[in-house]
Amino acid sequence: MKANFDIVVAGAGPAGLAAAHAAASGGLSVAVIDDNPRAGGQIWRQGPHAKKPAALSRMLGDLIRNPNVTSYQATRISLLADAREMIVDCAEHGGMSISFARLVIATGARERLLPFDGWTLPGVTGAGGLQALIKGGMPVRGERVVLAGSGPLLIAALATARAAGARVLAVVEQAPWRAVLPFGLSLAATPSKLGQALRLTRGFTDTRYWTGSVLTRALGNERVEGAIIRRGGRDITLACDRIAGGYGLVPNVALAQMAGCALASGAVAVDEGQRTSVQNVWAAGECTGIGGTELARVEGRIAGLAASGQAVSASDVRERERWRRFARRAAHAFELGASARAWPSAETIVCRCEDVAFGDVAAHASWREAKLQTRCGMGPCQGRVCGAALETYFGWDAALPRPPLVPMRIGALLQAREHDDARL
C-alpha cells in the first residue's frame, strides 16, 4: 500500500498529537503514526487498567472528527527511504510506503537503565516499564516493590504501583536531599506540577524515600527475592518481589538521526520554530530534550503550526520558555552523581540481547570497537538499552542507527517494496 500526505507526524504522544492538531487546523492533510496500539505516548498510555485522561480524550476527539487527519496506530516507522518517504510496518495494512512533504518527529524518550548485579532476573523492569505493564493489566496486588534510580518518574511509578495494590517498600533516589529539597520547594512556581506531585504522593508517608542512595544488587535465583541498597556507607537488604527503576530518560533520536538531523547534547537540535537542521523536518517533545508533558505539548503545537506555515503566537513561545526553565531545574536536581555512575562489576551483563558482560565491553576504547569485538548492542534492541548505559559510563556516542530502525516482518518489507522502488 502507498499513501501520501502533506505532513507526517511520527509519534502520537502529547507532542505528536499537539503537532497534528495544530497542523491539521491549517487545512493540510496530516498522518499521525505510532507504534503503540492506542494513541497517547508514554504518559497517556492507554490500556485495560488505565483511565483515559480528559486532555487525551479531547485531543483525540478533535483529531478523529477532522477529515484531514489519518491515524496509523500499531505502526512502526522502520526506515526512511529518503527525506520524503518512509517505510512502515502497520498491523492493519502490512508494509506501506508513506510519502510526505514535511515531517514532524515526536518520538519521545526512553528510560536510562543502568545495569547492576542481578538486573536480568525476572521481576526487574524499568520504572516506566512497570507502569506500562500495570496499565496493560499485569496484576501486582500485594507484591512488595522497590523503586530505584533517579527522577520524577520514580514518583509516577510509585503512584501507579500503589493504585494497583502493590506495597512499595522504598523509593531509592540517587540524588542527595540538598538537591531534591530545593527542587520540591521550587514546584511552588509551577502550581500544576505542585498539584501533580501532591496527587502522586498522597498517602506517601508510609513509604521510605531514601535520597543519596543507590540499589547495587538484585538477589534471587529464579526471580527477584530481594534488593541490596547502599545508603550512608552501609548496605541495607530488603526482601521484595519486584524491582523497578531507571536513571531518568534519554531522548529517542533514532528516527531523527536516520533523517540526518543534527543533535545537540544527545537531543535533536531545533531552532525557535522547532525546525531541525534538515529543511523539511521539525521535531518536538522529549526527542528534543527531556522536559515533561507540558513542554512536549507546547513544542508540538509550535512545530505543527510552523510545519504547516501558520504563525506561532508569542504566548506559545513564552509558555515553552517557562517549561524549559522547569526542565532545567529538574535536570539540575536529578543530575547523576558519582555513586550512580559507578561501574558495575565486570561480570554484570550490560547487553541483555547478546549476553555481553561489562568487563568485556570496558576493555575497548569506543562503542564501535566494543560492538565489533563483543557484539554488544547488536541484538534485537540495537543498543537502545546498553547504548545509554555506555554513554553514561564512558561518554561513548551511540552509533548511527542502521535500517531497519526496529525489527520489521520480512513479508511487510517485501509488501512495501512491491509498491515502491525505495532504496532498501
Q: How far is the CB of 215 from ligand FAD (least distance, A)?
A: 18
Q: By CB under 6 A, tell whether 12 contacts ligand FAD.
A: yes
Q: By CB under 6 A, tell whether 173 contacts ligand FAD.
A: no
Q: How far is CA 247 from CA 154, 212, 225, in A?
A: 9, 13, 22
Site string for ligand FAD, 243-282 (x = CB under 6 A): ------x--x--x---------------------------
Binding footprint of ligand FAD, residue count (CB under 6 A)? 35
Alpha-carbon distance 424 to 410, whole Å? 12
Q: What is the DSSP string of 321-346?
A: HHHHHHHHHHHHHT---HHHHS---T
Please report how the helices 293-307 and 14-24 are oriented relative to each other, as an axis angle in degrees rounded to 10. 30
Alpha-carbon distance 137 to 37, whole Å? 14
Q: By CB under 6 A, tell whether 13 contacts ligand FAD.
A: yes
With contact defined as beta carbons under 8 Å apart, do 41 and 323 qualify? no
DSSP lists the bridge partners of residue 50 as 47
Binding residue for ligand FAD (CB under 6 A) from 406, 412, 413, 416? Answer: 406
Taking the mean position of all CA atoms in its chain, how far away is CA 409? 24
Q: By CB under 6 A, tell whether 131 contacts ligand FAD.
A: yes
Cβ closest to ligand FAD, residue 108 vs residue 377: 108
Q: By CB under 6 A, tell whether 151 contacts ligand FAD.
A: no
With contact defined as beta carbons under 8 Å apart, do 100 and 84 qualify? yes
**Alpha carbon distance, N-terminus to C-terminus of the chain:** 16
Q: By CB under 6 A, tell whether 405 contacts ligand FAD.
A: yes
Binding residue for ligand FAD (CB under 6 A) from 9, 29, 34, 86? Answer: 34
Question: Three-state DSSP class for 178?
Answer: helix
Q: What are the percentages of helix, strand and coil residues in the chain, rounded to 5?
A: 35, 25, 40
Q: How far is the CB of 220 from ligand FAD (least distance, A)?
A: 24
Q: By CB under 6 A, tell whether 42 contacts ligand FAD.
A: yes
With contact defined as beta carbons under 8 Å apart, do 111 and 152 qualify? no
Residues between 275 and 334 that touch ligand FAD (CB under 6 A): 285-286, 292-293, 296
Binding residue for ligand FAD (CB under 6 A) from 111, 319, 354, 360? Answer: 111
Cβ closest to ligand FAD, residue 285 vs residue 383: 285
Q: How far is CA 36 from CA 13, 32, 136, 200, in A?
A: 10, 12, 12, 25
Q: How far is the CB of 239 from ligand FAD (least distance, A)?
A: 27
Alpha helical stretches, state H, 225-366: 254-258, 293-307, 314-333, 338-341, 358-362
With contacts defined by CB under 6 A, name the span among 29-37, 136-144, 227-235, 266-274 that binds ligand FAD.
Answer: 29-37
Binding residue for ligand FAD (CB under 6 A) from 24, 43, 229, 361? Answer: 43
Spell out a b/e string for 303-321, using b for 16 or more CB atoms within 10 Å of the CB, else e: bbbbbbeeebeeebeebbe
Cβ closest to ligand FAD, residue 34 vs residue 360: 34
Q: How far is the CB of 302 from ligand FAD (least distance, A)?
A: 13
Cβ closest to ligand FAD, residue 284 vs residue 340: 284
Binding residue for ligand FAD (CB under 6 A) from 6, 35, 85, 241? Answer: 35
Alpha-carbon distance 124 to 164, whole Å? 17
Site string for ligand FAD, 69-108 (x = CB under 6 A): -------xx----------------------------xxx
Q: By CB under 6 A, tell whether 153 contacts ligand FAD.
A: yes
Q: How far is the CB of 232 from ligand FAD (least distance, A)?
A: 29
Q: By CB under 6 A, tell whether 33 contacts ligand FAD.
A: yes
Alpha-carbon distance 234 to 207, whole Å? 20
Alpha-carbon distance 399 to 252, whole Å? 13
Q: By CB under 6 A, tell whether 387 contacts ligand FAD.
A: no
Alpha-carbon distance 54 to 70, whole Å? 21
Q: Which residues bind ligand FAD (CB under 6 A)?
A: 11-16, 33-36, 41-43, 76-77, 106-111, 128, 131, 153, 156, 249, 252, 255, 285-286, 292-293, 296, 405-406
